[in-house]
């Protein structure tokens, strides 16, 4: 049944669960909860160095779990990062390699040939659900989330429409849910509404293991938040002067004006922090924390879109670049893994990427790991054991004249404007002594430069839909 007043319903669920605890089914296959923030920068959580926005619950999760300091997104923008996650392939191989609109709604769909990790888990006994932002295919296409392994989906099908936090509609699987009350007013804040449905799923009884995918929209632009007590707290904390409305945008989207964007952004992060606490509390209340892996991460670096301000928040920390860059600030993201009684708390500098979760989830579910992917299971790292290493990590970006990057050990190479010049010069950085990528040492280390350039050429597989190099 669709919930028109989800918070009232959630109160009833909580009350019922408190009075009549549900019997939990213990199974060998663990539950998996994957929280993916949208455009949350590496240094947005306090445990990664944030000084202005407060994230006590995410920080608490980091202390109770394993915090990665060198974890990477699948891409530097939304759709290809999610494609990389769901396929276990880096952007030189995955089916969707860029953001591109699709009519009547949504983005380029995942093709029929793609078998997602959700499909594999579902075929092997998991209940699967996704709540948040999809961006990988409209409901009538091959990329429909119900066709890609999810029993239930609720949220935005289209990532462009997700810029509006007071939308005129969301999707409940194939049912369009309209919000006429949002026309001209701020009645239903989508992030809260989506989270309420996620909590409803989490609180209901499950007779088999579940994979709960939570690609939340926070704190992606437009930077818009309810003007609640948290918002007012940050208005006062930042002593922020109100901005004035600018000329209307001509991109065809609906944009709401926010007079205090710094306070709104901080409030959005605070909401995400609260959501995280409620998820952890729920699995603890149900007595399933010891059989549930919870991962918190982000899809790419911080944004400067419609209210985002990386300079004010320093949400990329000491890293260079933001969203749409292949420097560290655009692709290195926070990553915390929590599993009560299984993962020993700590901090690791083990490099890993979003596409490593595909084989990790297979291994946890007792499924033979697919060898025809780019990911390597990080289960050994989670258990503080010797971790097999990648030959290299690779990214490519199909906007801004084309960009490529590769990491090999502590070496990082970046190429710009490759769509104009297939032989564009390669920038070389040593991340061990130059994590901010300030010093291009390509001329000092010609052998390393050639080695990483060869890796870039090896990693990129031409794709007619996503041509990157001249002549493709």
Q: What percent of the chain has pLDDT over 90?
A: 89
Domain count, the chain: 2
Establish if 2 belongs to a structural domain: no
pLDDT at position 28 = 84
> Are both 182 and 297 inside the same structural domain?
yes
> Are both 320 and 417 inside the same structural domain?
no
Domain containing residue 359: CATH number: 3.40.720.10
- Asked which of 128-132, 184-188, 443-447 is least confident by mean pLDDT, the reply is 184-188
* Tens-digit pLDDT profile for residues 290-337: 999 999 999 999 999 989 999 999 999 999 999 999 999 999 999 999
- Whether the Cβ atoms of residue 128 and residue 122 lie closer than 8 Å to each other: yes
Bridge partners of residue 404, in order along the sequence: 396, 415
> Are both 197 and 260 inside the same structural domain?
yes
40 to 45, 63, 165, 243: CA distances (angstroms): 8, 19, 16, 23
Beta strands, E only, 319-380? 332-338, 346-348, 352-353
- Reduce the DSSP state of residue 340 to 3 states and report it: coil
Name the residue range of residue 434's domain. Answer: 396-459
Q: Which of 374, 390, 406 is the last residue of a domain?
A: 390
* Tens-digit pLDDT profile for residues 154-192: 999 999 999 999 999 999 999 999 999 999 899 999 999
pLDDT at position 253 = 74
pLDDT over 90 at 78, yes or no: yes
- Reduce the DSSP state of residue 194 to 3 states and report it: helix
- Whether the Cβ atoms of residue 77 and residue 400 lie closer than 8 Å to each other: no
Establish if 18 belongs to a structural domain: no
Distance CA 88, CA 85 (A): 6
**0.95 exceeded by the pTM?**
no
Query: Nearest 5 degrees, angle CA 263-CA 223-CA 335?
Result: 90
Run of H or E including 407: strand 403-408
> Are both 202 and 276 inside the same structural domain?
yes
pLDDT at position 324 = 98
> Are both 280 and 419 inside the same structural domain?
no
Which residue reads 């202390």 in tokens?
Answer: 63
pLDDT over 90 at 3, yes or no: no
Residue 8 confidence class, pLDDT cut points 50, 70, 90: very low
Distance CA 418, CA 402 (A): 5
Q: What is the four-CA torsion angle of 272, 278, 281, 285, rounded to 10 degrees?
A: -160
Residue 133 confidence class, pLDDT cut points 50, 70, 90: very high
Residue 249 confidence class, pLDDT cut points 50, 70, 90: confident
Distance CA 68, CA 213 (A): 20
Of the candidates 124, 131, 33, the one whose C-alpha atom is nearest the C-alpha of residue 336 is 33
Distance CA 98, CA 419 (A): 14
Q: Which of 362, 390, 418 is the last residue of a domain?
A: 390
Residue 256 confidence class, pLDDT cut points 50, 70, 90: confident
Q: Which of 337, 368, 390 is the last residue of a domain?
A: 390
Tokens of 394: 């690779």
Establish if 298 belongs to a structural domain: yes
> Are both 236 and 285 inside the same structural domain?
yes
Which residue reads 């007071």 in tokens?
Answer: 166
Establish if 466 belongs to a structural domain: no
Write the DSSP symbol of residue 288.
-
Q: Please, what is the average pLDDT of the chain?
A: 93
pLDDT over 50 at 273, yes or no: yes
Q: How many CB atoms lie within 10 A of CB 414?
A: 27
Q: How many CB atoms lie within 10 A of CB 425?
A: 15
Write the DSSP symbol of residue 107.
B
> Are both 380 and 412 inside the same structural domain?
no
Distance CA 275, CA 413 (A): 37
- Asked which of 244-248, 285-289, 415-419, 454-458 is least confident by mean pLDDT, the reply is 244-248
Establish if 291 belongs to a structural domain: yes
Bridge partners of residue 428, in order along the sequence: 413
Return phi, psi of residue 403, to 5°.
-140, 150
Distance CA 373, CA 17 (A): 41
End-to-end C-alpha distance for the chain, whole angstroms: 49
pLDDT over 70 at 4, yes or no: no
Establish if 445 belongs to a structural domain: yes
> Are both 342 and 427 inside the same structural domain?
no
Of the candidates 445, 434, 437, the one whose C-alpha atom is nearest the C-alpha of residue 405 is 437
Establish if 383 belongs to a structural domain: yes
pLDDT at position 171 = 98
> Are both 159 and 101 inside the same structural domain?
yes
Residue 395 confidence class, pLDDT cut points 50, 70, 90: very high
> Are both 403 and 382 inside the same structural domain?
no
> Are both 110 and 258 inside the same structural domain?
yes
pLDDT over 70 at 22, yes or no: no
> Are both 269 and 407 inside the same structural domain?
no
Establish if 122 belongs to a structural domain: yes
Residues 25-51, mean pLDDT to the nearest whole number: 91
Domain containing residue 412: CATH number: 3.30.1120.10
């Amino acid at each position: 049944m669709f919930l028109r007043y989800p918070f009232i319903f959630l109160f009833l669920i909580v009350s019922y669960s408190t009075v009549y605890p549900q019997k939990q089914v213990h199974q060998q296959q663990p539950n998996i909860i994957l929280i993916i923030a949208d455009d949350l920068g590496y240094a947005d959580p306090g445990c990664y160095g944030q000084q202005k926005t407060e994230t006590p619950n995410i920080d608490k999760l980091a202390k109770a779990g394993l915090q990665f300091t060198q974890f990477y997104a699948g891409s530097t923008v939304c759709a290809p990062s999610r494609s990389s996650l769901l396929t276990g392939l880096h952007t030189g191989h995955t089916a969707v390699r860029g953001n591109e609109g699709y009519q009547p709604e949504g983005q380029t769909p995942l093709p029929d040939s793609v078998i997602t990790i959700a499909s594999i888990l579902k075929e092997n006994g998991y209940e699967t659900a996704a709540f948040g932002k999809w961006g990988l295919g409209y409901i009538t296409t091959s990329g429909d989330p119900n066709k890609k392994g999810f029993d239930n989906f609720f949220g935005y099908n289209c990532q462009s429409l997700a810029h509006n936090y007071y939308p005129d509609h969301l999707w409940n699987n194939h049912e369009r849910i309209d919000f006429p009350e949002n026309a001209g007013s701020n009645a239903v804040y989508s992030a809260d509404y989506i989270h309420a449905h996620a909590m409803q799923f989490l609180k209901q009884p499950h007779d088999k293991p579940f994979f709960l995918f939570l690609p939340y929209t926070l704190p992606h632009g437009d930077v818009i938040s309810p003007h609640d007590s948290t918002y007012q707290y940050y208005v006062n904390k930042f002593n922020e002067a109100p901005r004035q409305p600018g000329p209307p945008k001509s991109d065809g989207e609906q944009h709401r004006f926010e007079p205090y964007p710094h306070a709104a952004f901080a409030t959005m992060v605070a909401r995400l922090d609260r959501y995280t606490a409620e998820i952890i509390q729920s699995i603890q209340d149900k007595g399933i924390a010891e059989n549930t892996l919870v991962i918190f991460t982000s899809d790419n670096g911080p944004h400067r879109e419609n209210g985002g301000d990386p300079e004010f928040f320093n949400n990329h920390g000491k890293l260079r670049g933001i969203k749409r860059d292949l420097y560290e600030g655009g692709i290195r993201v926070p990553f915390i893994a929590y599993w009560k009684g299984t993962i020993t708390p700590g901090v690791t500098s083990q490099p890993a990427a979003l596409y490593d979760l595909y084989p990790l989830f297979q291994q946890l579910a007792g499924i033979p790991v697919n060898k025809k992917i780019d990911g390597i299971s990080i289960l050994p790292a989670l258990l503080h054991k010797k971790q097999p290493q990648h030959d290299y990590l690779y990214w490519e970006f199909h906007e801004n004249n084309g960009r490529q990057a590769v990491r090999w050990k502590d070496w990082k190479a970046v190429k710009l404007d490759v769509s104009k010049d297939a032989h564009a010069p390669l920038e070389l950085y040593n991340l061990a002594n130059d994590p901010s990528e300030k010093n291009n040492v390509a001329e000092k280390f010609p052998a390393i430069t050639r080695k990483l350039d060869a890796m870039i050429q090896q990693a990129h597989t031409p794709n007619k839909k996503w041509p990157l190099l001249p002549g493709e």
